[in-house]
Structure 1
Amino acid sequence: MKKASILMILGSLCLLGLFQFPLWNIMLGAPQYPEPLGMNIHITGIQGVSEFDLQNIDGLNHYIGMKTIPKAGEMWEFDIFPIVIIAMVLLGVLLGILGFIGKIDYRFFLGWFLLMSILGIMGMYDFNLWLTDYGSNLDPHAIIKVVNEDGTPMSYKPPLFGYKKLLNFDVSSMPATGAWMMFVGMLLTVIAFFVGWRCKNSVSSEKKHKLVTP
Structure 2
Amino acid sequence: MKENNLTILSKVLLALVGLLFIGSLFVPMWRIELDAPQYPEGLVLQLHANKIGGDVDIINGLNHYIGMATLHSENFFEFTVLPYVFGAFAFLSIILIFINNRKFVFGFLVILVTFVVLAGIDFYRWNYEYGHNLNPDAAIKVPGMSYQPPLIGYKQLLNFGAYSIPDTGGLMLIGAGMLLFFVVLKEFKFKKSI
- What is the TM-score with the length of structure 1 in the denominator? 0.82
Q: 1:35 deviation in Å?
A: 0.8
- 1:163 equivalent to 2:154? Answer yes
Superposed CA deviations along residues 19-51 of structure 1, whole A, max 9, x for unmatched, are: 111111101111111110110111101101xxx
2:163 to 162, 172, 184: 172
Task: Quote the Cα distance in structure 2 between the aligned partners of 1:60 and 1:200.
Answer: 55
Does structure 2 conserve the Cα–Cα contact (< 8 Å) formed by 1:25 and 1:39? yes
Superposed CA deviations along residues 173-200 of structure 1, whole A, max 9, x for unmatched, are: 0111111111111211222223333675
Task: Quote the Cα distance in structure 2 between the aligned partners of 1:2 and 1:66.
Answer: 52
Does structure 1 conserve the Cα–Cα contact (< 8 Å) formed by 2:30 and 2:166? yes
- 1:10 equivalent to 2:50? Answer no
1:140-151 map, 5 Å: 140-148=136-144
Residues matched between the structures, number: 188
Task: Quote the Cα distance in structure 2 between the aligned partners of 1:69 and 1:192.
Answer: 39
Which protein is bigger by CA-based radius of gyration?
A: 1
RMSD between aligned residues: 1.7
Q: Structure 2 regions of 5+ residues with no counterpart? A: 1-6
Amino acid corresponding to residue 62 of structure 1 in structure 2: H
- 1:43 equivalent to 2:49? Answer yes
1:66 to 65, 68, 72: 68
Q: Runs ≥4 in structure 1, deviation > 4 angstroms?
A: none
Q: 1:58 deviation in Å?
A: 0.9
Which position in structure 1 is the counterpart of 2:103? 107
- What is the TM-score with the length of structure 2 in the denominator? 0.90
Q: Structure 1 regions of 5+ residues with no counterpart? A: 100-104, 149-153, 204-214
Task: Quote the Cα distance in structure 2 between the aligned partners of 1:30 and 1:197.
Answer: 49
Task: Quote the Cα distance in structure 1 between the aligned partners of 2:18 and 2:56.
Answer: 32
Task: Quote the Cα distance in structure 1 between the aligned partners of 2:111 and 2:151.
Answer: 22
Superposed CA deviations along residues 3-34 of structure 1, whole A, max 9, x for unmatched, are: 21221221222111221111111011111111
